[in-house]
Amino acid sequence: MASEIHIPTLAPEVLFQIGPVNVTNTMINAWIAIIIFLILGIFIKKRINLSPGKLQNYSEYFLDKLLGYFDQVTGDRKKTIGFLPIVGSIFFFILLSNWLGLLPGTGSIMVGHSMLLRPANTDLNLTVAMALVAVVSSHIFGFVAIGFFTHLGKFIQIGNILKSFKKGPMAIFTAIIEFGVGLLEIISEIAKVLSLSLRLFGNIFAGEVLISVISALVAALAPAPFMLLEVLVGIIQASVFAMLTLVYLTVATSKPHGAEEH
């Protein structure tokens, strides 16, 4: 007989409070992922040796492959190493938090009327926060790499607007067009945040709802193919988010077209 179907809500459910802070079920999964990374990082660091063991060998091999993939986007190993802490952290956190959402007990252990554990990326607050980190950090890297005014000039070229008044009507018209294009570029930066956050949230939330419904309607083995599919979706979504972040960082730290010649 089918069990009662508990359809996840869009908003995460509050489990308890720590002072003014609401602790939700998605936060529990996020903390678990962070703790796992912390323990694994300390464990690997303590075992770094000139004569590496199996764990160090596997870690170095995977890191070397990851740097190679990043190099294909950045075209510069120095940039790759500089971006690795942000892009790598985003990739592994999204991947692990997605996979933690498939473990037994996630979505099925109840505390009152709320789920105790829920995939972290089904919380739109988290995905928006990661998207903001990705986009804002790209501008910070851009300011540092090519200079404040050069990077700002990709959006609003104030100098051209002021100079156009001395060059006649056509120059003024061109400056107005460039200013309009700059405003569109600013809007596109906002769109990046929405695109990154909603894509990740939508895919993980849809998978959570699908598995919840299938698990409640049919026998225990029936959801297995869908869970295997979600394993693949977890890898894809982590890769897409991380690679788009890497592209944003690479573009932001590249000089505008024609700057080199100038």
Instruction: Give the pair of three-digit tokens for residue 10.
Output: 């869009």
Asked if residues 248 and 138 have their Cβ atoms less than 8 Å apart, the reply is yes
- Res 261: pLDDT: 44
Q: Which residues are paired to 117 by β-bridges?
A: none
Question: What are residue 24's DSSP bridge partners?
Answer: 14
Residues whose CB is less than 8 angstroms from the CB of residue 161 and which lie 6 or more positions away in sequence, other chains included: 175, 178, 179
Position 168 scores a pLDDT of: 66
Q: CB neighbours of 52 closer than 8 A, spacing ≥ 6?
A: 60
Strands 21-24, 110-111: pairing is: unpaired
Position 198 scores a pLDDT of 94
Cβ neighbours, 10 Å, residue 204: 24
Q: Residue 214: its pLDDT value, please? A: 75
Show the low-confidence residues of the chain (pLDDT under 50): 1-3, 260-262
Q: What is the residue-wise DSSP string for the chain?
A: -PPPP-PPPSSPPEEEEETTEEEEHHHHHHHHHHHHHHHHHHHHHHT--SS--HHHHHHHHHHHHHHHHHHHHHS-HHHHHHHHHHHHHHHHHHHHHHHHTTSTTTTT-EETTEES---GGG-HHHHHHHHHHHHHHHHHHHHHHH-HHHHHTTT--HHHHHHHTTT-HHHHHHHHHHHHHHHHHHHHHHHHHHHHHHHHHHHHHHHHHHHHHHHHHS-TTTTHHHHHHHHHHHHHHHHHHHHHHHHHHHHHTSPPTTTTT-
pLDDT of the residue at 38: 92
